[in-house]
Amino acid sequence: MSLNAFESLFHFSAKHLSSLSKDSSWLPSPADLEGFRKAQNLAYSAAVTVSKELRPGMTEKEAAKLLKSYLHDHGARSFIHRPFAWFGDRSRFLNLGFYMRYLPSDRKLKEDDVYILDVSPVVKGYTGDIGYTNSLSPHPELTRAKNFLLELRKEIPVLFLKAKTPGEVWRRVNERVLEAGFANCHALYPFAVLGHRVYRKFPFANFSSYLLPVSYVSWFSYQALLSFSKRGVFPETLTEEHKGEKLGLWAIEPHIGGNGFGAKFEEIIVVEKDRVYWLSDDVPHITEQKG
């Protein structure tokens, strides 16, 4: 089956099966929320620390290795997906095509590059899936993109409250991105996901994660693949076709494209019946702007 045919089958299935979720409406206790914050804080700490170590000439593979080492040194043994690093035009996700091309490459960082770091450690069963965008030198176009992403961050909780389905959130975010003059890069992700669900029970969280070197699944640890197989991939992923339950926790990752670069953030949002809020405002894309 070709890649396009596989993606078409996914979107057709998501349209009809995304409402068949089992425990998607689970809402966390205060203790659970604190567990997720600690995991998210560790993930951001890794991204910010490694960001300060990046230098021209370093490769995406080297950056990803630094991310993995930082998380391992700070006690994270398992993860949802392997650490990612995308430099320059690769952060734009244009013409990547095959799934394996999204993985860290030998692309070297240049002085005027934008870069994205993305990690997802698991800490005591809690996941912290984040994305962090920056550049080595001042980049006015990136500044405009990051300012728009902050505007979008304010709007997304309202979109969740008003939307009847997660798919409506996807479509409205897409409209806002295009209205602002950017490209929708998360539409270029495999299956065009805006985000995915976050659960407390991450299987075998105390064991080291391993990867399967097979196409798309090579992104994910075996624990994540077990989670997908248990709950079903369609309720897990926030796509344009998703017609299931909104309630619960989501890792949201709007990814936009400018001229030769991409920019994103990713963090956890909590969706309750009458309230939607980000897990924390103590995140780099907020604090660095204030600083």
User: Strands, DSSP E only, in the chain?
Assistant: 78-79, 84-87, 114-119, 121-123, 126-127, 130-135, 183-184, 195-198, 237-238, 248-252, 255-257, 262-264, 267-271, 276-278
Who contacts 158 (Cβ-Cβ below 8 Å, separation ≥6)? Answer: 276
Dihedral sign, Cα of residue 102, residue 188, residue 145, residue 81: negative
Q: Would you say 60 and 39 are in contact if contact means Cβ atoms under 8 Å apart?
A: no
CATH of domain 3-290: 3.90.230.10
Q: What are the boundaries of each domain within the chain?
A: 3-290
The CA-CA-CA angle for residues 92, 97, 98, to 5°, reads 125
Instruction: Tell whether the torsion through CA atoms of 130, 207, 102 and 134 is positive or negative.
Output: positive
In a structure prediction context, what are the per-residue pLDDT tens digits for the chain, which is 291 residues long?
334 544 444 444 444 444 555 545 678 899 999 999 999 999 999 999 999 999 999 999 999 999 999 999 999 878 878 899 999 999 999 887 666 788 899 999 999 999 999 999 988 889 899 999 999 999 999 999 999 999 999 999 999 999 999 999 999 999 999 999 999 998 887 778 899 888 766 554 454 544 544 444 444 544 444 455 444 444 578 999 888 889 999 999 999 999 999 999 999 999 999 999 999 999 999 998 775
